Structure 1
């Protein structure tokens, strides 16, 4: 039985994304092209790999078995390439990095610039990506490194096939309209205030709610903002108080007063994630970028983890 590795990657993408259309979008091909590759792979394997379910497809039992093996084969090929690159000590090639906006600006961009300056044959490419999407892109091989966040009391579990590397701790700050005057950094002083918070279901909202509840009250949330820049603008307009991580406090309007949160103290942790190495090495190119990313966290701003 001869199985084409490229077609195995297509099958794994379908399994990971949950359908042909999503896999096609990730692979930048048409759904019909994905279907053709799956059909050819089914002929090579001698059994059906997908079947119709409603308006989409699902993997057959044989498809699930082959997708699991495809994941292992893709990983083995990647580790073989990493091993050869490590022997050559070759800091070259492309490293694709996904990160959420505040980390992309404060940590990833300067790390990428330094890595490229230090290693002229290295090409680091930065992509803004929210956490859930970036995890899928990492596991599929579309990204090589992703940067994730984890707030106090809101853990971020990872599947066993991903490796985690701590980068920085990012303390939360209390921001209030400048017209409200100075504050002590204690949340219980603001139990009767209006609040600006993130959207439902986000870790930032859970962190804000938990901190306020630790201080003994339920916040009166009047406004919602996922973008920290909008949060700063809403607070600057006098519409409420908010909790914002230090890394997001760039370009703070003069109408916003900022104080470290002193009671309760809370933070978010920033960490880099790569595909599991097993017993194999990371490519020297990825190690070079991760070294610069750790150095970025040592600069003024977020505290090293």
Structure 2
């Protein structure tokens, strides 16, 4: 039995995305092309791999078994490519990095520029991506590095199959309209004012609410904004106070007073995740980008540096 690795990648994508149409979009091909590849793979395997379910398809038992092996096979192929690059000390190729907006601008773009300036054969591509979608893209190898965030006071879901690389901490700052004249930096001094916060379901929104509770009051949240630029504009217009992470304060409009919290009660940690490397090294090109993100020297042989993975599921 000969199984084509490229067709195994298609099956893996269907299993990961939950259907032919979503897999086709991720692979940048038509749904009919995906169906044809699945049909050919089924003939190679000797078993049907998908079956109709409503308007879509689901994996058969054989399809589920083969999809599980496909992920491991694709991982082994990637490790083989990495081994060759390490043996030749080659920092070259394309590295695709996904990140949420504030980190993309403040961290990823400068790191990408530095990495490419230091390694002429390296091509770093930056993609603004939502956290949940970016993790799927990482598993499918559409992305190679994903930058994520953890907010204080926000519980999340542990994901054990990804490698974690700490990057930075990002403390929250208190922002108020200049005309208010309340510059103490103490949350408790703003218990009686209107507030601007992120959407209630987001980590930033939940973290803001929890920080105010810890300061002893229920905030009067009158305005909601996911985009930090909009939050700053609302505060500049005098609509309320807000808590904003430092990376979102690169372009503060006139009329906004920025103060570090007098007692730091909340913040976020920024970290990158990559596909698991097991006991092997990180690809030199990926290691070079990670090093620039973390401000350290790249070291492709990082077998002893793997951190325990404690990923929090976050939305932006």
Scaled by the length of structure 2, the TM-score of the pair is 0.91
Which residue number corresponds to residue 114 of structure 1? 114
Which residue number corresponds to residue 261 of structure 1? 261
Shift of 1:279: 1.2
Higher mean C-alpha displacement, 38-47 vs 143-152: 38-47
1:66 aligns with 2:38: no
Query: Which consecutive segments of 4 or more residues in structure 1 shift more than 6 A?
Result: none
Which residue number corresponds to residue 310 of structure 2? none
The 2-side partners of 1:190 and 1:225 are apart by: 19
Q: Would the aligned equivalents of 1:187 and 1:264 in 2 still touch at CA under 8 Å?
A: no
Which residue number corresponds to residue 139 of structure 2? 139
Which residue number corresponds to residue 232 of structure 2? 232
Which residue number corresponds to residue 200 of structure 1? 200
Q: Would the aligned equivalents of 2:134 and 2:146 in 1 still touch at CA under 8 Å?
A: yes
Q: Secondary structure at the match of 1:291?
A: helix
Q: Would the aligned equivalents of 1:211 and 1:264 in 2 still touch at CA under 8 Å?
A: no
Q: Secondary structure at the match of 1:79?
A: helix
Shift of 1:262: 2.5
Q: Secondary structure at the match of 2:79?
A: helix
Shift of 1:159: 2.3
Q: Would the aligned equivalents of 2:153 and 2:266 in 1 still touch at CA under 8 Å?
A: no
Deviations 1:36-69 (A, max 9, x none): 1111111111111111222211111211111110
The 1-side partners of 2:19 and 2:189 are apart by: 50
The 1-side partners of 2:281 and 2:64 are apart by: 28
Which residue number corresponds to residue 249 of structure 2? 249
Q: Secondary structure at the match of 2:295?
A: helix
1:221 aligns with 2:226: no
Q: Secondary structure at the match of 2:146?
A: strand
Shift of 1:200: 3.0
Q: How many residues align?
A: 296
The 2-side partners of 1:156 and 1:272 are apart by: 16
Q: Would the aligned equivalents of 2:173 and 2:260 in 1 still touch at CA under 8 Å?
A: yes
The 1-side partners of 2:218 and 2:36 are apart by: 55
> Which residues of 2 match residues 1-305 of structure 1 at below 5 A?
1-295=1-295
The 1-side partners of 2:264 and 2:287 are apart by: 36
Scaled by the length of structure 1, the TM-score of the pair is 0.94
Q: Would the aligned equivalents of 2:175 and 2:259 in 1 still touch at CA under 8 Å?
A: yes
Q: Would the aligned equivalents of 2:171 and 2:264 in 1 still touch at CA under 8 Å?
A: no
The 2-side partners of 1:157 and 1:124 are apart by: 29
Counterparts in 2 of 1:105 and 1:10: CA distance versus 1, 3 Å: same
The 2-side partners of 1:25 and 1:219 are apart by: 42
Query: What is the root-mean-square deviation of aligned Cα atoms in Å?
Result: 1.2
Gaps of 5+ in 2: 297-316
Q: Would the aligned equivalents of 1:235 and 1:241 in 2 still touch at CA under 8 Å?
A: yes
Higher mean C-alpha displacement, 89-98 vs 53-62: 53-62
